[in-house]
Amino acid sequence: MPAPSLLVLYGSQTGTAQDTAERIGRQAQRRRVQVRVEALDSYNVAHLINEPLVVFVCSTTGQGDPPDNMKAIGRLCVEWRPGSGLISSSRLGFPGGSVLHTLWFNFVAKKLYKRLLQLGASALLPVGLADDQHDLGPDAVIDPWLSTFWDRAQAIYPLPAGVSVLSDDHLLPPRYLVHFLDDVAEDPPVRPGDPQSPPQTTPSQSHPFQARVISNERVTHASHFQDVRLIEFDIAGSNMEFTAGDVVMVCPRNAPEDVAELCRLLRLDPARRFVLAPTDGATVPTRLPQPCTLRDLLENFLDIASVPRRSFFELLAGFATDQLEREKLVEFGTAQGQEELHAYCHRPRRTAIEVLADFPHTTAVLTVDYLLDLFPEIKPRSFSIASSLLAHPDRIQVLVAVVQYRTKLHKPRRGLCSSWLASLDPTQREVRVPLWVKKGGLRFPSDADTPVIMVGPGTGVAPFRAALQERTALDRTGNVLFFGCRSESRDFYCRSEWEEMQKAGRLTLFTAFSRDQEEKVYVQHLVRQQAGLLWDLI
């Protein structure tokens, strides 16, 4: 009987599918299975023919689109010819990802599952379609799917005589070992994309461009509840190009006070330098410089202030020495404890740092080697570009609504990226924002005679601002904009720009200010009122 071996490939946009894939990897380790967990785009698909057992975990993003880290394999799937025998030896497992858009429910998972079967893969069990909208979340489907999967997998690869499955309270080894250096950092490490690092032809997630903030202007009235910023970045020398409808990706940073609090809880010196040594054949993340300081790891790389997932509690339970803390952590890590976990963690948006503070005995024995297992990597945030290169050469502008709200917890909840961007001072020239550009879902007509109808309430007007700047620079008319906000005096973004375009005959503008009168008026009401005009334009 061959030694059991499993490959888990994931396509993940926000980290949910990656978290599930890594959870499957830990379950495989407990079952004495040799396992590799990789992003789809980092895997050489030509090797699939040699894989005896493969699980694909994919989410759907946008309008039925694949995640960024599986787009390459998606193109390859289209190019493969059925009957080629490319993966005829593989057995296929397939828990689908989840998505909020009902129209595109698990579209990517369904499509890839069907395509792999066409190419000769043998399905171990039917595709599992998880749903974020389920009362218990995606685990309501994933848990029973995995239970069936392991039963069938172990029927193919039974454990050798005298070998048993490791219990859930057995602490698995970390993915990386942290080796501290004797000295502390005197200078900040060189990160990919830093001004002093080698120039890159095209900025990307692995090599973002470090942009300087030119301006950071609040565009809502000081009395308005919502703080919205128009932020401009200098991208001179970046080689970045974009058109209206494209998006800019930003890597945010954790707040210094959160980094300080975590270092206090774990008794860490943020100035200490270290190098990572992988324990399972994994590679050191490209965004993480080597050597690295703990401050850099916690501030720029690990998502320490996010709301933790179920896997966080499963791992934390392995360190629990206090009986009460252990019982609660174990409960939060089980399928039966998900309602309790939702009430404790997800509904009030309790952060991972706050959870660690609530379990002091467990936190006291947590070791630094497990930081990269416990906390996910900070995911980049995407913003519609709100400017045109034709109007603002070497610049990118974004319209950012600062996220802040209250729950039953005393401390207000804050959006990681929006709060960080809003705090940046343009006079501090050393402050840099890692960013890159990617194609967006909006496309504007190239034909100069084609009119464009744009409906952009609130900050959703950002890509239309870019389009109007671009079309004005190209002397294109036929621009119709429906803009909606709460109040003409408080959050009428870019008012002076729209009025100038109107005076120049470049724009037909319709505005809906929903709270300026007793009866609510929204953009859809104006669209209905202008049915004749829109019909003629269409």
21 and 119 together in one domain:
yes
Q: Compute the CA torsion angle 414, 416, 419, 422 (nearest 10 deg).
A: -170
31 and 145 together in one domain:
yes
At which of 138, 156, 174 does a domain end? 156
Confirm whether 469 is domain-assigned.
Answer: yes
Cα–Cα distance for residue pair 166/33, rounded to 1 Å: 11
Confirm whether 152 is domain-assigned.
Answer: yes
Cα–Cα distance for residue pair 511/526, rounded to 1 Å: 8
Confirm whether 430 is domain-assigned.
Answer: no
Q: Does the CA dihedral 133-134-138-141 come out positive or negative?
A: negative
- The whole-number pLDDT of residue 88 equals 40
491 and 360 together in one domain:
no
Per-residue pLDDT tens listing for the chain (538 residues)? 556 789 998 888 888 888 889 999 999 999 988 899 988 888 887 788 888 899 988 887 766 677 777 766 655 554 444 444 444 444 555 565 433 333 446 777 788 788 888 878 888 888 888 777 666 677 788 888 899 999 998 888 888 888 888 888 788 999 999 999 975 555 555 555 565 555 557 899 888 999 999 999 999 999 999 999 999 999 999 999 999 999 999 999 999 999 999 999 999 999 999 999 998 777 888 888 889 999 999 999 999 999 999 999 999 999 999 999 999 999 999 888 988 999 999 999 999 999 999 999 999 999 999 999 999 999 999 999 999 999 999 999 999 999 999 999 999 999 999 999 999 999 998 889 999 999 998 999 988 889 999 999 999 999 999 999 999 999 998 999 999 999 999 999 999 999 999 999 999 999 999 999 999 999 999 999 999 999 999 9
- The whole-number pLDDT of residue 321 equals 92
- What pTM was computed for the model? 0.86
Confirm whether 237 is domain-assigned.
Answer: no
| Bridge partners of residue 434, in order along the sequence | 210
Confirm whether 174 is domain-assigned.
Answer: no
Confirm whether 188 is domain-assigned.
Answer: no
At which of 140, 156, 172 does a domain end? 156
44 and 148 together in one domain:
yes
CATH of the domain at 496: 3.40.50.80
User: Residue 180 is which amino acid?
Assistant: F
361 and 260 together in one domain:
yes
User: Residue 528 is which amino acid?
Assistant: R
Give the chain's domain count: 3
Give SS3 for 225.
coil
Give SS3 for 221.
coil
136 and 264 together in one domain:
no
CATH of the domain at 332: 1.20.990.10
Residue 378 CB-density burial (10 A; 0-12 exposed, 13-18 middle, 19+ buried) = buried
Residue range of the domain that includes 488: 452-537
| Bridge partners of residue 209, in order along the sequence | 435
12 and 136 together in one domain:
yes
Asked if 244 and 227 touch (Cβ cutoff 8 Å), the reply is no
**Sheet with strand 53-58: strands edge to edge:** 34-39, 5-11, 53-58, 91-93, 122-123
Cα–Cα distance for residue pair 60/98, rounded to 1 Å: 6
Confirm whether 126 is domain-assigned.
Answer: yes
370 and 491 together in one domain:
no
367 and 458 together in one domain:
no
Confirm whether 211 is domain-assigned.
Answer: no
Any idea what the Cα angle at residue 81 is, between residues 78 and 83, rounded to 5°? 140
At which of 374, 398, 418 does a domain end? 374
